Amino acid sequence: MPSNVNPTVRRRRLGQELRRLRELRGMTAEEVAERLLVSQSKISRLENGRRSISQRDVRDLCGVYEVEDHRIVDSLMQMAKDSRQQGWWHAFGDIPYSVYIGLETDAESLRVYEPQVVPGLLQTRSYAESLIQGALPEAPPADIDKRVSVRARRQDRITSPEHPLRLWAVIDESALRRLVGGKQVMIEQLEQLVELSHLPHVTVQVLPFEMGAHPGINGQYAILEFPDAADSSVVYIEGVTSDLYLEKANDVQRYSVMYEHLRAQALNVEQTRHFISDIVKEYAGRSGA
């Protein structure tokens, strides 16, 4: 989907502009909510792009902020209209992490640290299916198939000839040792990991057990960066019932520094390929291949 019609990114940009207009008026979100007879949480969700913004919302907010330039109002109204379009992921129905997919679809680069599993953009279909079945044991087959299909569709960013995603993945050794789907599934997955690491825009590094404690010890996170300077970087932390998105400059900077430490402690690219290949041989030996 072209960048200029990505609904998730459009909502973020519109929310940032509405926040700027509010701050220019010297008003708090609570004061705006009181004027419009809505909850303060609604104003916050509109400004952080987590809620769909209607043209009526824009009209009401511009009225409160006394925006007199009709060109600005018209521009914001058009952004609101564009933000309500549906991204490709909506065709799959209700997806719990649709906000993240929207951001990932428009991102220019992604830095991810995974302590337990192979990153989703690098997974084989068999690995993804086994992983999702294990994580959601009560989910019906149709739901599992939908999630696997969405994951496969997301991977188009890796192979896109026109706009490939710059991916840097630091993966803990435990993700390579965790037997997901059986030995043959793991062999295929690890071989694909090595293959994808040869793409010019994909970098894979393994963080071996012997490195001990490290800055990523508390869990998975990803840092998304965008081609437009108007779109601030986002730190994404996946949760069980809800996800966390950090956009404040201080938060992004802190996680970026942590990531630099992870990259420095991990094996380099060539060492990583040899390391993964050795684990493949171990799986093949155990399976009698």
Intervals of CATH 1.10.260.40 along the chain: 3-85
Maximal C-alpha separation, the chain: 75
Phi and psi of 147, rounded to 5°? Answer: -65, -40
Per CATH, the homologous superfamily of domain 3-85 is lambda repressor-like DNA-binding domains (1.10.260.40)
Distance CA 49, CA 44 (A): 9
Q: How confident is the model at residue 125 (pLDDT cuts 50, 70, 90)?
A: very high
Q: What is the pLDDT of residue 188?
A: 98
Q: Which CATH architecture has domain 89-286?
A: 2-Layer Sandwich (3.30)
Question: What angle separates helix 7-24 from helix 40-47, to the nearest 10 degrees?
Answer: 120
Intervals of CATH 3.30.870 along the chain: 89-286
Question: Could you tell me which residue, 231 or 35, shows the higher pLDDT?
Answer: 35
- 10 Å Cβ neighbour count for 57? 21
Q: What is the pLDDT of residue 101?
A: 87
pLDDT at 288 over 60: no
Distance CA 177, CA 183 (A): 10
Mean pLDDT for 121-143 is: 95
Q: What is the pLDDT of residue 74?
A: 86
Strands (E), the chain: 109-114, 166-172, 202-207, 221-225, 234-237, 244-246
- 10 Å Cβ neighbour count for 177? 12
Q: What is the pLDDT of residue 2?
A: 40
Distance CA 201, CA 213 (A): 29
For the segment 40-90, what is each residue's pLDDT rounded down to a tens digit?
Answer: 888 888 888 777 788 889 899 999 999 888 888 888 888 888 777 777 777
Q: Give whichever of 4-8, 64-68, 90-94, 250-254 has the largest mean pLDDT.
A: 250-254
53 φ/ψ sector (left φ>0, alpha ψ -120 to 50, else beta):
beta
Residue 223 in tokens: 């840092």
